[in-house]
Amino acid sequence: MSLSVSLRHGFGDFALDLGFDAPQGITVLFGRSGSGKTTIINAVAGLLTPDSGRVVLDDRVLTDTKTGLNLPPNKRNLGYIFQEGRLFPHMTVRHNLLYGSALADRSRTGPGLDQVLELLGIAGLLDRRPTALSGGEKQRVAIGRALLAKPRLLLADEPLAALDEARKSEILPFFERLRDEVSIPVLYVSHSAAEVARLATTVIAIQDGRILRQGPAIEVLSDPMVTPAGVRAAGAVLEARVAVHHPDGLTELDAGGQAIFLPRIDRDIGARLRVRIAAQDVILSKHEPEGLSALNILPAEVEQIRAGEGPGTLVSLRTPAGSVLARVTQRSAGNLGLAPGARCFAVLKSVAVAPQDVG
Amino acid sequence: MDWLSPEEWSAVALSLRVAIWATVLSMPFGIFVAYALARWNFTGRQVVNGLVHLPLILPPVVTGYLLLLTFGTQGTVGAFLAEFGIVFAFRWTGAALAAAVMAFPLMVRAIRLSIEAVDPKLEEAAATLGASRLRVFCTITLPLTLPGILAGAILAFAKAIGEFGATITFVANIPGQTQTIPSAIYAFLQVPGGESAAIRLVAIAIVIAMGALLASEFIARRIARKVAGQ
């Protein structure tokens, strides 16, 4: 599958002008609110007609303003998961779930009701009405409803943004299972770096209606020049394997041969996972520190330095574990003599990594 | 039941028949016009809105006279329809038409309000799930609008039962033909000794109005509960 999008659209003094291809897996449109992400996803869904543009899914042209072709939403075979769920209030969960599947092309294969109920853990909710569901349950039903329409492509517009942290961590694993177990490609809109880090196969970083950078998540997130959600939210992603669960409550990860100690992670030995290291949780040291409480000290080489408008800089570092971003002051960067190619040590407190940044 | 004279009975029966037909037949048009006013942005929207509301603001006698000019046997539309055997003037069908026209603004207002209260985002969601416009309307918009449609229907029914000015101007006051409860009460009050008959019809009018109101409250509460999902 491949989705190919090129769009130009203006409203007020905002102009969207971009193009991208989304490969298999979860492609995240990553940017601040107001950057144009929802406009893009609505144009793909057919809910918005762009001033000019072309949307092609596999070999099927969905929108082409040159030829005047613009399929209505119901002819596009897409599943759309909205931020607010948008369950039909006058129907039970069962009827909500089956609304799209009754209309889906019978020749297409897709997950069945039993599979979706199991995947999302919503078998017990079938006879309830949406008003009797919690926020997390509603969103799970909305995901199931979209899946059961046998879509060629799933669209998700900030599906977790309206939920609190606990509910978020309840839903995130379902998207991970979706990515890993159901072979439906997903176009996912988010402004949350943590979600991007955990879910994205491909990241398309968007700012003010334009693409800053697109590529594999690991590469885009470790680029100090690309911070669509602001430098405070910057952070690189390491790919690691669970190595040892230590009896003192720490889990040892193996990231490219480098040991990383984090608070206990409930995953089996050998499980692969991603760890997001927030740039502002990383301390840099010119010499290998001794007598330090922080457990993770990684030898590093400076790749790139981006000076911000304020007193801060964003430094990207190459370590045995992968690329790491660090946010330090310009003064420190000067004192340490940081420059591309310079060697230093990156220090990370184990407890600084939040549970939602691991998965 | 001999506590009502045949003349009084025929007025009651005719009123019910006129009001029911007026309500039922104008309902599809009412839903359509309300939907168009609520959801479509077309040129002349304000003109349509004004036309719909005209019977509410015009003196009923004016509306009745306009109906007579248009749908009377000499009127353009009336003469045309007469060729197909459809005659309104001085028939109970004319009373139903007058009642429907007078009640239409009330019906449209109630339905339009409830259509505007349906979140278009739900309709979008249904469309992304593969539903055509017609299916979205029938499975999402219409069920969610049901309380408003019912409220509009009850209002229209009550208005149709009570309609007097336009009816008497358009189809006169012929016992057994076009004499509804209000025109019968009016007629009884014109003759000496007619008060007791008038009082009986007044009581019946109150019973019908209260009955309709209670029935609508009951049904509306059930529908609202169902739509709200409890």
How confident is the model at residue B6, as a pLDDT? 83
CB contact under 8 A, A86 and B122: yes
Contact between A231 and A327 (Cβ < 8 Å): yes
Amino acid identity for residue A263 in this structure: P
Which residues in chain B touch residue A149, judged by CB atoms under 8 angstroms apart? 128-130
Q: How far does B125 lie from chain A, in Å, by closest CA?
A: 7
Tens-place pLDDT, residues B86-104: 888 888 999 999 999 999 9
Query: H helices within chain A, ranges in order?
Result: 37-45, 93-101, 113-120, 135-148, 165-181, 193-199, 217-221, 330-335
Distance to chain A for B145, nearest Cα, Å:
11
Please give the structure tokens belonging to residue A86: 């948008």
User: In the structure encoding, which two tokens stand for residue A17, read together?
Assistant: 């002008």
CB atoms near residue B50 (< 10 Å):
11
Q: How far apart are CA B158 and CA B153, in angstroms?
A: 9
> Which of A74, A129, A130 is opposite residue B127, by nearest beta carbon?
A74
Cα–Cα distances in Å, from A2 out to A33, A57, A71, A122, A201? 26, 6, 18, 31, 14
- Render pLDDT for A81-100 as a digit per residue (tens, 0 to 9): 999 889 999 999 999 999 98
Give me the pLDDT at residue B1, please: 52
Judge whether residue B216 has pLDDT over 90.
no
Give the whole-angstrom CA distance, residue B114 versus residue B153.
13
Chain-centroid distance of CA B223 in Å reads 21
Edge to edge, the sheet with strand A26-30 lists A78-81, A153-157, A186-190, A26-30, A202-207, A210-216
User: Do A131 and B229 count as a contact with CB atoms less than 8 A apart?
Assistant: yes
Confidence of residue A221 (pLDDT cuts 50, 70, 90): confident
- Angle, in degrees to the nearest 10, between helices B142-162 and B195-228: 170
pTM value is: 0.82
Residue of B nearest to A84 (CA): B121
B224 in contact with chain A, both atoms CB, cutoff 8 A: no
Give B74's pLDDT tier (boundaries 50, 70, 90). confident
Side chain identity, residue A128 = R
> Quick check: A62 and A71 in contact, CB under 8 A?
yes
Give the DSSP H or E segment for A123: none
Local structure of A99: helix, strand or coil: helix
Q: Which residue of A has its CA nearest to B145?
A: A90
ipTM for the complex shown: 0.82
Distance from CA of B110 to the nearest CA of A (A): 20
Q: What is the mean pLDDT of residues A243-264?
A: 91
Residues of B within 8 A of A146 (CB-CB) are: 128-129
**Nearest residue on chain A to B140, alpha-carbon basis:** A88
Rounded mean pLDDT, A69-73: 92
Q: What is the 3-class SS of chain B, one letter each residue?
A: CCCCCHHHHHHHHHHHHHHHHHHHHHHHHHHHHHHHHHHCCCCCHHHHHHHHHHHHHCCHHHHHHHHHHHHCCCCHHHHHHHCCCCCCCCCHHHHHHHHHHHHHHHHHHHHHHHHHCCCHHHHHHHHHCCCCHHHHHHHHHHHHHHHHHHHHHHHHHHHHHHCCHHHHHHHCCCCCCCCCHHHHHHHHHHCCCCHHHHHHHHHHHHHHHHHHHHHHHHHHHHHHHHHHCC
Q: Is the pLDDT of residue B229 over 80?
A: no
Which of these ranges, A230-234, A291-295, B42-46, has the smallest mean pLDDT? A230-234
Shortest distance between the Cα of B121 and any Cα of chain A, in A, equals 7
Say whether residue B124 is in contact with chain A using an 8 A CB cutoff.
Answer: yes
CB A66 within 8 A of CB A54: yes
Task: Give A184's pLDDT tier (boundaries 50, 70, 90).
Answer: confident
**Residue among B161, B176, B149, B145 nearest B20 (CA):** B161
Q: What pLDDT, on the 0 to 100 scale, is given for residue B145?
A: 92
Average confidence (pLDDT) over A147-158: 91
Looking at every residue in chain B, the average pLDDT score rounds to: 89
Q: Please state, rounded to an integer, the average pLDDT across all residues of chain A.
A: 88
**Residue A156 tokens, joined:** 């998700």
pLDDT of residue B49: 92
pLDDT score of A105 = 75
Q: What is the mean pLDDT of residues B34-42?
A: 92
DSSP state at residue A352: G
Contacts of B126 in chain A (CB under 8 A): 88, 99
B127·A146 Cβ contact <8 A: no
Residues of B in contact with A72 (CB under 8 A): 127, 133
For residue range A56-65, list pLDDT tens digits in order: 998 899 999 9
Confidence class for position B2, pLDDT limits 50, 70, 90? low
Of A74, A79, A145, the CB nearest to B131: A74
Say what percent of chain A tops pLDDT 90.
Answer: 42
Report d(CA A345, CA A337) in Å as an integer: 13
Maximal CA-CA distance, chain B: 69
Asked whether the beta carbons of residue A89 and residue B124 sit closer than 8 angstroms, the reply is no
Residue B149: its chain A contacts at CB < 8 A? none
Region for residue B82 given its phi and psi (left: phi exceeds 0; alpha: psi -120 to 50; beta: otherwise)? alpha
* Contact criterion met (CB < 8 Å) for B128 and A80: yes
Tell me the residues of A at the B interface, defined by beta carbons under 8 Å apart. Answer: 45-47, 72-74, 76-80, 82, 84, 86, 88-91, 99-100, 103-104, 129-132, 145-146, 149, 155
In angstroms, what is the C-alpha Rg of chain B?
20
Rounded CA-CA distance B133/A151 in Å is 19
Q: Which residues of B touch A90 (CB under 8 A)?
A: 143-144, 226-229
Residues of A in contact with B226 (CB under 8 A): 90
Average confidence (pLDDT) over B210-228: 80
Q: Which residues of B touch A80 (CB under 8 A)?
A: 125, 128-129
Residue numbers in A near B124 (CB within 8 A): 47, 73, 86
Phi, psi of A297 (to 5 degrees): -125, 115
Please tell me the predicted confidence (pLDDT) of residue A343.
93
The per-residue b/e assignment along A80-119, b for 16 or more CB within 10 angstroms, e otherwise, is bbbbbbbbbbbbbbebbbbbbbebbeeeeebbebeebbeb
| DSSP label at residue A201 | S
**Is a pLDDT exceeding 90 seen at residue A146?**
yes
Half-sphere exposure in the Cβ direction for B113 (13 Å, CA): 11
3-state secondary structure of A72: coil
What is the distance in angstroms between the Cα of A142 and the nearest Cα belonging to chain B?
A: 10
- Conformational region of residue A156, where left means phi above 0, alpha means psi within -120 to 50, and beta covers everything else: beta
> Do residues B52 and B38 lie in contact, with contact meaning Cβ atoms separated by under 8 Å?
no
pLDDT of residue B85: 81
List CB contacts (< 8 A) between B230 and chain A. 129, 131-132
Backbone angles phi, psi at B142, to 5 degrees: -60, -50
Q: Dihedral of the CA atoms A148, A215, A211, B128 (nearest 10)? A: -10
Residues in chain B closer than 8 A to A78 (CB atoms): 128
Which is nearest to A53 in space by CA: A213, A209, A212? A209
Assess contact for A275 and A357: CB atoms under 8 A: yes
Give the chain A residue nearest B122 (alpha carbons). A86
Q: pLDDT (tens digit, 9 = 90+) per residue, B118-139?
A: 999 999 999 999 999 999 999 9
Verify whether the Cβ–Cβ distance B139 to A99 is below 8 Å. Answer: yes
Considering only CB atoms, B125 lies closest to which of A46, A82, A104, namely A82
- Give the whole-angstrom CA distance, residue A175 versus residue A195: 10
pLDDT of residue B228: 65
Q: Phi and psi dihedrals of A200, rounded to 5?
A: -70, 135
pLDDT, tens digit, for every residue of A298-352? 999 999 888 877 788 899 999 999 899 999 998 998 898 898 999 999 999 888 8
Residue B130 CA to residue A102 CA, distance in Å, equals: 9
- Cβ of residue B126 closer than 8 Å to a chain A Cβ: yes
Mean pLDDT, rounded, for A221-232: 81
- Separation in Å, CA of B123 to nearest CA in chain A: 9
Task: With a cut of 90, say whether residue A163 has pLDDT above it.
Answer: no
Is A149's CB within 8 Å of B130's CB? yes
